[in-house]
Structure 1
Amino acid sequence: MIKKLVAAAAAAGATAALALGSPSFAATAPTLAGPDARIGYGPVELSGTAAPGASVQLYETAIVFDDLEPADDWANGGGPVTATADSGGHWRLQRILDSGFYFQVESEGVRSNKLTVRIQQNPVLTLTSTSANTVSAHVEASPGEPTLAAQVQVNLSGGWTTIAAGEIGADGTFDGTARNVPAGSHAFRAYVGADPSNGVLAGYSAARNLTVAGTSAPAKPTGSVQFTKIQYRAKSLNAEWVLVTNNTGATVDLRSWTIRDATNHVYTFTSTYRLSSKGAVYVHTGKGTNSSAHRYWGRTGYIWNDGGDTAILRDAKGKTVDTCKWGAGSGVTVC
């Protein structure tokens, strides 16, 4: 009898130990999903899964700080931001984005995956033209982060050209005035640059049409040497080039003529180079063997900026013969 009682007690003890060592349930790890980016300031929807009926608490931080903390429900007087999973285990909530953010949720003491949501600039452009060949532009950045690059561009001859540039001010706006804009109806747009450290992506405004008062821009004089086309976005240095055309009725000696960009990188036609009437020459950025139709700058890095630049052609006396200016566009511009 004693042996039976001892055996029974031992079995009961083993069962109790097993029960204590193995919990009856394990917490369900929550999940978190959302968009990769939002365009402009405003709400973003977050969603995910958790145990049915479980409370989910949101943690967040601006990317620039990278210190996840409980989100504050400032819209409702403060406190944690929570959601409750429905009977199917699904939950959702919204947060306002004014920069790029990291998000995470916690439920039943378990954290979810970490989610990155960036924000893309969505500027608003306002235009007026009250003087001849002059355009006044007001750009409102969204989000309104100061010091970001700002540009106003016009579409002329199928390519976008920057006509005003600066940076977003402390109030989240940029104001610029462009002169010598050809008269007529043109499409305009605004560009605001990126801030990778804060999860802000560059973006363009919607294009806006404006009729510019005044007279049409004077055509380049016939019988001149001028830029006719520029390939400024390229996969190799020699695929980046400017095309110079001699529209005069005679051969022109280009010796000591120069081509330069807005930051004064200079190419010089150093030897006697005669460009025949109606002839054209490509000046490639990289290295190669010069010929009558192709010259090589000899650079080891790109010259022409994709976001906008100015090519300047000067004769041997330093007089500016032609310029070609462009903004961010397709990668090639017709001058």
Structure 2
Amino acid sequence: MIKKLVVTAVSAGAAAALVIAGPSYAATTPTLAGPGVRVGYGSVELSGTAGPGATVELYETAIVFDDLEPADDWANGGGPVTATADSSGHWRLQRILDSGFYFQVVANGVRSNKLTVRIQQDPALTLSSSSANTVDARVEASPGQPTLTAQLQVNLSGSTWTTIANGETGDGGVFTATARNVPGGTHAFRAYVGADPSNGVLAGYSAGRNLTVLGAPATRLPAPSGGVEFTKVQYRAKSLNGEWVVVTNRSDATVDLRGWTIRDAAGHVYTFSSTFRLNRAGSAYVHTGKGTNSVAHRYWGRTGYIWNDGGDTAVLRNSRGATVDACKWGAGSGAATC
């Protein structure tokens, strides 16, 4: 069949204009909307618009990877994740988040805007007091990510929260701690879990929980986890003994560190000897190399460097294996203040 050309005449003195009839539509650019933050592990609803009846395919990536690819429908055996726009062009779908994510959708070969959804920590806190002036705490991070800063806090005044135990989440995002010398009576407690910006994870607090602590009231609170903590790490050095980590006793009493350990992210472990005690307000340097131990200087005895210049985590654990403190750093000047 021969198609007719539609010719329109114009006013005298002008050339004739030749118009060929073409398609009357163009692909609709899809849109994508959703929450900017999800609190705790779970699902988010994504929605938007596209051409009526269009198939909308989801693309996603964890923020840490930043590499958008077609989402996998793992909950239903695999394959693309899609939605169909209704007659008015609206669509919606659900997606599970265990970290921060970037999202985008594609419809008829056209991409939508890029959406960022971060995830905020929503830790769960379990408490008990089985002996006088002692609180045992278990914090479960949500999302359950390891190596995040964790704290147990108490509110005695009705307005000020004070940290009485700190450390780092371990496998499964769990942090356990025992706080001693806590005043007897009923107090409010909460847990804090820190952020991981590279994964789009925001810091968050648990809901407050009341606990009746056994024992007599006290006039002052203990320092966190007995008061022993990291204060500085020299991770870039020209010699093994020029690389060190400092632990400081900020409590009001001497602390017996026998059986306590320091470890790095790779699992190298230093154990304090059975005779080592750290005096009140005292500090001890733990050098990587070999030497003669003294009160202020301890020696790991390694023949290679421990702390990574590009980033590492120092973890201090007590003789029961509970995390007491942690110091995390990235690439920097060569020293980290904890």
> Same fold judged by TM-score > 0.5?
yes
Instruction: Give yes or no for contact 1:104–1:114 (8 Å, CA) kept in 2.
Output: yes
Q: Which amino acid aligns with 2:20?
A: L
TM-score, structure 1 normalization: 0.61
Alignment of 1:75-94 (within 5 A): 75-94=75-94
Instruction: Give yes or no for contact 1:151–1:192 (8 Å, CA) kept in 2.
Output: yes
Q: Deviations over 1:255-307 (max 9, x none)?
A: xxxxxx9849xxxxxxxxxxxxxxxxxxxxxxxxxxxxxxxxxxxxxxxxxxx
Instruction: Give yes or no for contact 2:32–2:113 (8 Å, CA) kept in 1.
Output: yes
Separation (CA, whole Å) in 2 of partners of 1:114 and 1:180? 51
Alignment of 1:1-335 (within 5 A): 18-19=20-21, 22-157=22-157, 158-218=159-219, 263=231
Superposition misfits of 4+ residues, deviation over 3 angstroms: 8-12, 14-17, 261-264
Instruction: Give yes or no for contact 2:6–2:18 (8 Å, CA) kept in 1.
Output: no
SS where residue 197 of structure 1 aligns?
Answer: helix
Q: Which runs of 5+ in 2 are unaligned?
A: 9-15, 222-228, 233-249, 253-278, 282-338
Count of matched residue positions in the alignment of Structure 1 and Structure 2:
220
Aligned to 1:276: none
Separation (CA, whole Å) in 1 of partners of 2:176 and 2:62? 28
Q: Which runs of 5+ in 1 are unaligned?
A: 1-7, 221-260, 265-309, 313-317, 321-335
Separation (CA, whole Å) in 2 of partners of 1:206 and 1:71? 33
Instruction: Give yes or no for contact 2:193–2:204 (8 Å, CA) kept in 1.
Output: yes
TM-score, structure 2 normalization: 0.60
Q: Which amino acid aligns with 1:206?
A: A
1:30, CA displacement in angstroms? 0.4
1:24, CA displacement in angstroms? 3.2
Separation (CA, whole Å) in 2 of partners of 1:132 and 1:85? 62
Separation (CA, whole Å) in 2 of partners of 1:190 and 1:38? 19
Of residues 164-173 and 121-130 in structure 1, the stretch that sits farther from structure 2 once superposed is: 164-173
Distance verdict in 2 for CA 1:104–1:219, change over 3 Å: closer
Instruction: Give yes or no for contact 1:262–1:311 (8 Å, CA) kept in 2.
Output: no
1:171, CA displacement in angstroms? 1.8
How large is the RMSD of aligned CA atoms in angstroms?
2.8
Instruction: Give yes or no for contact 2:251–2:280 (8 Å, CA) kept in 1.
Output: no
